[in-house]
Structure 1
Amino acid sequence: MYGVGPLSSLALCAWLGGAGRFSSSRKAVRFVGLDITVHSSDGKGSPGQISRQGPEVLRWLLFEAAKTSARPCAPGYGYYTGVKERYDANRACLSQARRIVRHATHILDALGDDAFTVIAQPAAPTTIAR
């Protein structure tokens, strides 16, 4: 996925787990804490804010990965600019971070147990000393 490097992908795999951990990608977004809160009758949360429940480090990594969508060469640039024009850059990054979580959840579900299989790296060429 564009913008998701080795550290972010490791964090996503570690916290999202394998196939079947979440029944939907929406629940994964809620677990990460990027879902939008709604006004409740007890008045304890301002509406329209993210819930911030879940791993803070993962939210930070996802927000940083989503900021790469602000680049014109990014595949999600059209979506990012659309949200940015309607709201602002911060909300566009949060929206893109939610898209990354949903996409990662679908990838992990599709891979199943193979998501955690180690892929053999090609052996490094050996040099012969003469």
Structure 2
Amino acid sequence: MSDNVIKSKSFSFALRIVKLYQFLSVEKKEFILSKQLLRSGTAIGALVCEAKHAESKPDFIHKLAIAQKEANETDYWLQLLFQSEYLNEIQFQSLKSDIVEINKILASIIVTTKQSMKK
């Protein structure tokens, strides 16, 4: 997978998170969890963009590893919002499948880059 795929998917996901934040704060009057979700969900794409201009391969890996941590945190907030009934099943499953895919792509890029460093 190229970083263009992860850049595109993480940006699209960030847009979904921004819209979800707007929905949760306006319609559901939920401000605390949704703000955490907004922060972590948009950080993924920002870190991917930052990694593209990394100073070295280890720096590149480090930035993507932080993006992966943000993706894991985002998954946590989504689960919490679902279990507390701020998100319905359809909303949750759609976002959950996106974050799982993003996490898999990030993991693949990190592993591939580490392997290329060993050669």
Give your verdict on TM over 0.5.
no
Higher helix share: 2
- Structure of higher CA gyration radius: 1
TM-score, with structure 1 as normaliser: 0.27
